[in-house]
Amino acid sequence: FAFTAKVIKGRDVELVWLTKNEYNLKNYIVERSFDGRTFEPLATVSAKNKSENDYTHIDYNAKDLGKDVLYYRIAMVENSGQVRYSPVKAVRFDREFWVSVYPNPFKEAFNVKIYNPERKNITLSLFDNLGRMHLKVQLEGEEIHYQPTERLDYLAAGTYLLQISTGSQIEIVKLVKN
């Protein structure tokens, strides 16, 4: 059983768990806590009962709860009623790196919003589907708002990959040009 919890888009929490040799399970209950001790159910997910399974649940707008730290765990409910729990995972809104790109699809330009609490140097690169680089820029700061100064209307309509790299972390966003 592998379980991760991370902040996405600066405000949602994505929970992903992977299982192997799953059998006799009724369902999973996604639980959230403000203190790491008292948990409340968020969602129930039916078990697939196959040899390899992956599950995803998103706690939308979790940041709006006003807590810097939230705790999550997964309760595994067997058909017999017995319950086992995953390890508890904490997510921090005050220290999480995140990227938002809009509008997507774009026509002439797009905006990039980055929260970079560790103030790492960031390289932003735009590639087409053949791997050709059309844009490369170095950015720095904690709260970054970037819009390419050059117009991108010369780009052909299609799908592009925007790579945001901190050296130790890489985010890739699929962008569509109309």
- Reported as a single tens digit per residue, the pLDDT across 22-76 is 999 999 999 999 999 999 999 999 999 998 999 999 999 999 999 989 999 999 9
Helix-then-strand count for the chain, H and E: 0, 15
Q: Are 109 and 151 in contact (CB under 8 A)?
A: yes
Its pTM surpasses 0.75:
no
Q: Are 173 and 101 in contact (CB under 8 A)?
A: yes
Q: What is the pLDDT of residue 30?
A: 98
Strand-strand pairing, 122-127 and 133-139: antiparallel
Beta-bridge partner residues of 15: 5, 57
- Reported as a single tens digit per residue, the pLDDT across 68-106 is 899 999 999 999 999 999 999 999 886 667 788 999 999
Instruction: Provide DSSP, 72-107.
Output: EEEEEEETTS-EEEPPPEEEESSS--EEEEESSSBS
**Cα angle value 75/78/82 (rounded, 5°):** 80
